[in-house]
């Protein structure tokens, strides 16, 4: 038995209430991080993954909202510290805040979606007052084991006001790969307004619409990524809640992100980087519906090419496995119709995913050790955003004659 959401596509933008228009339909999708026990396949939650754009504020967003308690729960399997690249990235973030925004007499930083404490661990070691919000109890407990102060809760207006009353104003509110998860951003931004001090900053980094369109990285679209931000849509959103976009920084992590810095209107002068990114988006015509529809056509081409390649390899008797049981891979396998008949299994380093089945298509997930026991003929790289780290680790695979299948920005074999 399967369950499918029956909510209709919204006729209004979640940010400004404007009319929205659909440009991409990725079909019936499961929860992207719901890895199933073999005996759990009889009942699974599905919804329609479609993408719309607001005609008024240009915000790109999902047509249907998946209830947050289904996505972020005690058994949420993603641990940010699993990647050495991300450990280095977040250590750098923390050091930057310590050198700039957290230099007062008693600085205070709050992180939304602190996960396993990968960033706040460095803040804690520096002896700076902090608080992490993490609704997924399992990873929150990992953060606590590192000495990080964590509240197992969602950040929103009510909880932010509670923190302000108990601990005073924050100098920084930071979040990474979390803002895009939250449909109710109105409550989050009102919470930021209530919690931040007069000169405080709200800093968030998320997948960037410009990179998604340029690279045709459609697998960045899944249930947890409700919004796909651009500088223009972030500025329009910030303006509605008394904030201003004062800085942007392009980031190479997770396939291309932007770090946005918001401050209260008139308090800080926007950096030249903001104007440059606005100009890039105008030149790219990033938020034109024609650009987004061309992106959708490219997504369809990737599906055709990837299926054709996998079916040919099966006919020729080659063995293909997946590499990285990522949340993104659920979009690819379910949109393209890729099951265990085309990809034997997916290997992954996360113990909570091993010996389970991938969402929707039910491909077995095995440990990282299974990749070389023996090596497959081809590996479908789902974790393409960690390609450099993976290639360095798996040199013996290619030396043994193995080849990588990649689908961003187009299907190709290396």
pLDDT tens digits, one per residue of 361-414? 999 999 999 999 999 999 999 999 889 889 999 999 999 999 999 999 999 999
CB 235 within 8 A of CB 282: no
How are beta strands 227-228 and 60-62 bridged, if at all?
antiparallel
pLDDT > 60? residue 79: no
Q: How far apart are CA 412 and CA 414, in angstroms?
A: 7
Cis peptide before 409 (omega within 30 of 0): yes
Angle at 253 between CA 394 and CA 157, to 5 degrees: 135
Residues 297-334 have pLDDT tens digits of 999 999 999 999 999 999 999 999 999 999 999 999 99
Domain 291-413 has CATH 3.40.50.720: yes
Give dist(CA 264, CA 241) in Å, integer: 9
d(CA 55, CA 12): 10
Supply the CATH classification number for the domain 80-290.
3.40.50.150
CATH 3.40.50.720 maps onto the chain at 291-413
With b for 16 or more beta-carbon neighbours within 10 A and e for fewer, the 31-64 pattern comes to bbbbbbeeeeeeebbbbbbbbbbbeebbbbbbbb
Question: What is the biggest distance separating any 2 CA atoms in the chain, rounded to whole angstroms?
Answer: 68
Convert the pLDDT of each residue in 153-212 to its tens digit. Answer: 999 999 999 999 999 999 999 999 999 999 999 999 999 999 999 999 999 999 999 999
Contact 83, 145 (CB under 8 A): no
Portions of the chain given CATH number 3.40.50.150: 80-290
- CA dist 184 to 22, 68, 323, Å? 20, 10, 34
Instruction: Determine the Cα–Cα distance for residues 171 and 187; give it in Å rounded to an integer.
Output: 19
């Amino acid at each position: 038995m399967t369950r499918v959401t029956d909510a209709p596509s919204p006729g209004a933008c979640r940010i400004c209430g404007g009319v929205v228009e659909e440009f991409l339909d990725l079909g019936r999708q499961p929860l992207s991080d719901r890895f199933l026990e073999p005996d759990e396949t009889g009942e699974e939650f599905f919804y329609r993954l479609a993408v719309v754009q607001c005609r008024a504020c240009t915000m790109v967003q999902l047509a249907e909202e998946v209830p947050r308690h289904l996505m972020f729960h005690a058994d949420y399997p993603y641990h940010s510290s699993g990647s050495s690249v991300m450990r280095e990235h977040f250590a750098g973030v923390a050091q930057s805040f310590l050198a700039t925004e957290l230099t007062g007499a008693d600085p205070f930083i709050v992180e939304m979606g602190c996960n396993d404490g990968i960033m706040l661990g460095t803040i804690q070691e520096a002896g700076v007052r902090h608080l992490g919000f993490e609704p997924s109890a399992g990873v929150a407990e990992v953060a606590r084991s590192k000495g990080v102060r964590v509240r197992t809760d969602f950040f929103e207006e009510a909880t932010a006001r509670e923190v302000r009353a108990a601990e005073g104003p924050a100098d920084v509110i930071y979040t990474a790969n979390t803002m895009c998860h939250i449909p109710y951003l109105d409550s989050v931004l009102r919470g930021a307004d209530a919690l931040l001090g007069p000169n405080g900053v709200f800093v968030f980094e998320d997948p960037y619409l410009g990179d998604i369109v340029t690279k045709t990285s459609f697998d960045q679209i899944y249930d947890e990524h409700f919004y796909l931000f651009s500088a223009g849509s972030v500025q329009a959103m910030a303006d509605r809640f008394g904030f201003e976009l004062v800085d942007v920084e392009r980031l190479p992590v997770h396939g291309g992100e932007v770090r946005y810095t918001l401050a209260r209107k008139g308090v800080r002068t926007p950096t030249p980087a903001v104007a440059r990114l606005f100009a890039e988006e105008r030149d790219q015509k990033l938020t034109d519906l024609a650009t987004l529809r061309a992106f959708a056509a490219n997504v369809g081409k990737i599906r055709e090419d990837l299926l054709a390649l996998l079916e040919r390899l099966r006919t020729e008797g080659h063995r293909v496995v997946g590499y990285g049981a990522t949340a993104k891979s659920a979009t690819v396998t379910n949109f393209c119709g890729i099951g265990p008949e085309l990809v034997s299994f997916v290997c992954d380093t996360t113990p909570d995913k091993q010996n389970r089945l991938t969402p929707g298509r039910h491909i077995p997930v095995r440990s990282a050790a299974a990749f070389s026991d023996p090596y497959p003929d081809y590996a479908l790289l789902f974790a393409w955003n960690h390609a450099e780290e993976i290639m360095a680790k798996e040199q013996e695979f290619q030396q043994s004659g193995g080849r990588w299948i990649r689908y961003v920005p187009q299907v190709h074999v290396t």
